[in-house]
Structure formats: structure tokens, C-alpha cells
Amino acid sequence: MDLESVTVGERGQVVIPQRFREEIGINPREKMMAIRIDSLVVYKKMEDFLTESLIKTLQKGLGDLKFEDIESSRDELSKEMIR
């Protein structure tokens, strides 16, 4: 996969080139989450991220998980990414 620059849209969204989207299977207007680890930025589909978070939480033995817990975890992570 060749490197290409991305542009920022008029509402602040990241515009990924079509060829790149096709190569990695991203649909237009699909929600993505950017996770920064040192100098690396990893993009994950939002649904995949939330599903993984739910599975990890259930594996920790929190069977009485509430939807609010998932939302607050998501919100905390979003705040971390903005910094």
C-alpha cells in the first residue's frame, strides 16, 4: 500500500482517498476511531472497537455491565484522544 496524504473536510472530518478505502475495506461515511500509541496512529471501525470493549469487560467477570458503563468508557477514551 503506497503512502498518500489525507485531507481534512469542511466539517473537520478526515477524508481518506478512495483507493485506500477500497484496499482496507472502509465504506464511505463509516465511523472510525483513531487511537494514538506513541508516534503510531491506529484506526479502528467504531463498531469493532465497542464490541471488543464489551467482550473484554465481560471476560473480566463484570456480568452486570450496564450500557452507561460502555458509554462512559467510550467518552473517556474520546477525551484522551483529543488531548
Whether the CB-CB separation of 28 and 21 falls below 8 Å is answered with yes
Same domain, 70 and 37: yes
Domain range for 63 is: 31-83
> For residue 20, which of 36, 42, 4, 41 has the smallest C-alpha distance?
4
Q: What domain count does the chain have? A: 2
pLDDT tier at 49, thresholds 50, 70, 90: low
Same domain, 58 and 80: yes
Averaged pLDDT of the chain: 71
Name the pTM for this structure: 0.34
pLDDT tier at 69, thresholds 50, 70, 90: low
